[in-house]
């Protein structure tokens, strides 16, 4: 297949759905890791094509959703400083902190700007030498290389008014964390296609072997997802567990060596707090000491107040695959994309937002 239409073909989807039906002899629970995959699953109604005994669980692969509340609060505090231009991707501006969001800072006169790349932010720093320019560097291994490039470039140019506020997370440790949760329900994974295009799929072999779990690295179109599910089901039914690469048009076993090299140069691995999941050892990146002068976390002293999550929000259990949005009493009532209570409703990649957008009527009437 060459064109995107072919990855959305109804005929091909029916063929794959029939193959999944034929292959399925037992109930199975399969988790897609990426928020983009969750979005596709809901947008194209893929659960309706599957045997009822296959349950899709929606994992923690939305970077906006898993960024810790304390980091959002820190971003808001920094953005409110008079001499700061605070730059971020658009989604993050709507994420509610403990008391406000970045849009509130902007409305109050703060210089908060939406950018499409950290390099845009670098240009802003060059054009505004009297200001300190901070980029909110969040996301998985997919966004980290571009952020690493930007800060490396800033260092090379002696651009001492450019900073990163870093809250990067990495996928293999969170898969380990999910499998180690006592209430884990996952029996097979659709692996994260974008992340593997950078890091390769070899880091998942160890996980598949340790937990005896199929991991199929999968793309983001409906045909990709159905093929990924089929491959996971075939392994589960055969009692097998290994890593397969469905997304071979973008992913190799080794990944992108240049991207990995710059990650290693600029960042170091650290423990990370995942919103809804808690602290997971060695699951994040922070700037290495060589880049300390550009580290907003070190340069800006903000007073951290204890963070309080919404009592009603069950997004942690949703990210673990233990519950679904329909189990939340606030879904679609107190909590909507316009007025989100929790992070999984904020981002369009968040599970609650995907259910609200594509499956709301069905969910509310079931």
Residues that bind ligand SF4 (CB under 6 A): 310, 312-315, 318, 325, 328, 330-331, 335, 340-342, 344-345, 352
* Nearest partner of 343 among 61, 130, 40, 12, judged by Cα: 61
Q: How far is the CB of 322 from ligand SF4 (least distance, A)?
A: 12
- Region label for 98, one of left (φ > 0), alpha (ψ between -120 and 50) or beta (otherwise): alpha
Q: How far is the CB of 312 from ligand SF4 (least distance, A)?
A: 6
Closer of 59 and 340 to ligand SF4 (Cβ): 340
Interatomic CA distance for residues 32 and 124, integer angstroms: 37
C-alpha radius of gyration, the chain, whole number:
21
Long-range contacts at 109-115 (CB < 8 A, ≥ 24 apart): 110/79, 110/80, 110/84, 110/86, 111/79, 111/84, 111/85, 111/86, 112/79, 112/86, 112/87, 112/88, 113/85, 113/86, 113/87, 113/88, 114/87, 114/88, 114/89, 114/90, 115/87, 115/88, 115/89
Q: How far is the CB of 24 from ligand SF4 (least distance, A)?
A: 29
Q: How far is the CB of 317 from ligand SF4 (least distance, A)?
A: 8
Q: Name the residue with the smallest CB distance to ligand SF4.
A: 342
Residues 11 and 36: beta-carbon distance below 8 Å: no
Closer of 51 and 337 to ligand SF4 (Cβ): 337
Closer of 117 and 310 to ligand SF4 (Cβ): 310
Q: How far is the CB of 352 from ligand SF4 (least distance, A)?
A: 3
> Which DSSP string corresponds to 261-293?
HHHHHHEEEEEEEETTTEEEEEEEEEE-GGGGG
Closer of 285 and 331 to ligand SF4 (Cβ): 331
Q: How far is the CB of 65 from ligand SF4 (least distance, A)?
A: 8
Closer of 275 and 286 to ligand SF4 (Cβ): 275
Q: State the DSSP H helix or E strand holding residue 203, giving kind and residue range, or none if neither.
A: helix 203-211
Closer of 93 and 335 to ligand SF4 (Cβ): 335
Q: What is the dihedral of CA 242, 248, 252, 256, to 10 degrees?
A: -140
Closer of 150 and 328 to ligand SF4 (Cβ): 328
How far CA 320 is from CA of 176, 189, 323, 329, in Å, comes to 12, 12, 8, 18
Interatomic CA distance for residues 365 and 357, integer angstroms: 15
Q: How far is the CB of 250 from ligand SF4 (least distance, A)?
A: 30
Closer of 200 and 325 to ligand SF4 (Cβ): 325
Q: How far is the CB of 357 from ligand SF4 (least distance, A)?
A: 12
């Amino acid at each position: 297949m060459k064109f995107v239409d072919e990855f959305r073909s109804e005929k091909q989807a029916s063929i794959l759905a029939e193959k999944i039906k034929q292959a399925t002899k037992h109930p199975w629970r399969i988790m897609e890791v990426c928020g983009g995959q969750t979005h596709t699953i809901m947008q194209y109604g893929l659960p309706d094509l599957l045997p009822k005994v296959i349950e899709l669980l929606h994992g923690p692969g939305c970077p906006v959703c898993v960024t810790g509340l304390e980091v959002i609060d820190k971003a808001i505090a920094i953005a409110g400083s008079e001499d700061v231009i605070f730059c971020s991707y658009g989604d993050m501006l709507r994420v509610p902190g403990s008391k406000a969001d970045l849009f509130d800072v902007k409305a109050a006169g703060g210089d908060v700007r939406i950018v499409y790349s950290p390099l845009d932010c670098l240009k802003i720093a060059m054009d505004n030498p009297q200001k300190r320019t901070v980029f909110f560097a969040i996301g998985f291994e997919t966004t980290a290389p571009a952020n690493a490039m930007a800060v490396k470039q800033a260092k090379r140019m002696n651009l001492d008014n450019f900073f990163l506020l870093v809250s990067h997370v990495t996928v293999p440790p969170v898969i380990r964390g999910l499998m180690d949760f006592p209430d884990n329900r996952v029996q097979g994974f659709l692996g994260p296609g974008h992340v593997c295009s950078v890091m390769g799929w070899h880091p998942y072999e160890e996980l598949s072997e340790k937990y005896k779990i199929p991991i199929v690295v999968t793309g983001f179109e409906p045909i990709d997802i159905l093929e990924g599910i089929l491959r996971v089901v075939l392994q589960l039914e055969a009692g097998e567990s290994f890593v397969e690469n469905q997304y071979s048009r973008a992913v190799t076993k080794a990944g992108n060596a240049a991207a990995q090299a710059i990650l290693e140069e600029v960042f170091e691995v650290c423990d990370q707090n995942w919103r809804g999941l808690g602290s997971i050892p060695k699951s994040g990146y922070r700037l290495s000491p060589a880049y300390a002068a550009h580290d907003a976390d070190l340069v800006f002293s903000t007073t951290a107040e204890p963070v309080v999550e919404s009592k009603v929000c069950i997004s942690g259990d949703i990210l673990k695959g233990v519950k679904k949005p329909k189990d939340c009493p606030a879904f679609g009532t107190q909590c909507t994309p316009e007025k989100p209570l929790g992070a999984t409703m904020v981002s369009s990649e968040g599970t609650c937002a995907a259910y609200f957008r594509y499956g709301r009527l069905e969910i509310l009437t079931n």
